[in-house]
Structure 1
């Protein structure tokens, strides 16, 4: 296993209280595999990624029963050792390319500094490597792009530069934090193609964070659905998208617009009522309780157990496998 995470927690101080942003997350990624983290904004996806990369805010607390990259215990590394590993063995593509790139340095300076930092290569070797990796992610006139500043590039080109920066040292694991969110559909398809080609060429593990289930259907091998800092369902792409077991996963999938599903202007989009609970709340009940149409009395009394669904995925819910569909159908019929 390339990445092995068990019982990951992240807490942040908040006006004298502790904000529990990530709560008991278990994740694993194999070499060459793509794990998609999905869920609403604010459910803990990006905070989980930052915890893996060691890039949490200064006052944040991270703890985990197990946090390993290959044979390396990430939880036991010093700041210096983590800095040496970050960018070399694991890298990250951040959500907004304009703020992730330094506006006062050229593209070439930023790429070469990353490569020289981790390989001690000469300036000429770093420049040659930077041009090569820019061309591999679809940038034409790479030598010219090396002399340009971030503001001189479009959003799609800036995103390609970030991908090149993440790939320049050929990492074992790459984390992509919604890298296609602000891009048009054509550019989005190109970026996804570049990422999958780079992954296949290097047998690289990838964690892809997104709220776009269309992207998940296209690139995921496995899917982990997050809600309120927890993973509430995890399994293969086919199991989670075709046979969702957790009521929250069912709600997410139902909210996706379906082409040809009704007359224009007459079809109401499905939505999940209510709000995400406060992250200060303890684990005395199911976090999805207030928004769940299939809630039971036991949901308010004890945390949900982790169960196995017939399609093979795991999900955290008091409902037994097969109950979700029957109870949901009853709710819809009554509505």
Structure 2
């Protein structure tokens, strides 16, 4: 081997040694040196809680980590993130980093999006006052709508409905801690708008409903009248048939809604004679607004009622209902099933 080649090999080995040393140093900085302090600022004594804002670049992330007590140098963070090929993959949110974690572990956790998530569930049949109580009491939500009226809430959402009752789609909504309550309301309202519009466009022909809002009102009544999926389309049919014949709907849940949050669980004859806009024993047609948050299934049932001439139904005591086409048949069913329910109650 010539002296010239030997010299080149010597310099190559030297540079490889230097590169290996630098890589080793970089690895040590990224994965061995802790950037998370050995102390807790979260609920779990073994973790450190940090929040990264949306739309944050590497420089901003380094500043936010440093402000919240982590030993994150901006230049080192840039080099580390780019060395791991995750410079553009770091996600915002609230993180729980293990005490003593290295910069590499912190960055990889952020790239995975392994962050704290919260959730809130809107249950089918929930009323607006129940939803607002639930939202106002959630500890991880920033309460900007607490104390404002339902009308003001609609204005903030840029919606022109007569009421905010029924306009939020029942579902479980996942969010980052410290999310604005208005954002969750907006997501739920947009989800309902989407579902309602799609189902309205595909509704059965000949329904006595003028608008998608009428469909929402009917669906809320169906939701409150039965929790059994197999009965929803038949319950819908009863009310559709009554609307077509100009008969009053005569449904207890609307009367109860008219009483409001003060309802004590006992519907009295005096309540049925109390004249409110929601008393469907006294007023024909649909009530002025929904009476609850209906599920997608109830909206579907309202838009696609079963084919039947049924005008009456009564609870059988097992969660299902008996449907009748005539008053005589209905009275016999009421006598049969209500007597059975009363007998079971007395026996217990």
Structure in which a larger fraction of residues adopt helix: 2
Q: Same fold (TM over 0.5)?
A: no
TM-score when normalising by structure 1? 0.22
Q: Higher Cα Rg: structure 1 or 2?
A: 2
TM-score when normalising by structure 2? 0.21
Kindly indicate whether structure 1 or structure 2 has the higher relative contact order, using CA contacts under 8 Å at least 6 residues apart. Answer: 1
Structure in which a larger fraction of residues adopt strand: 1
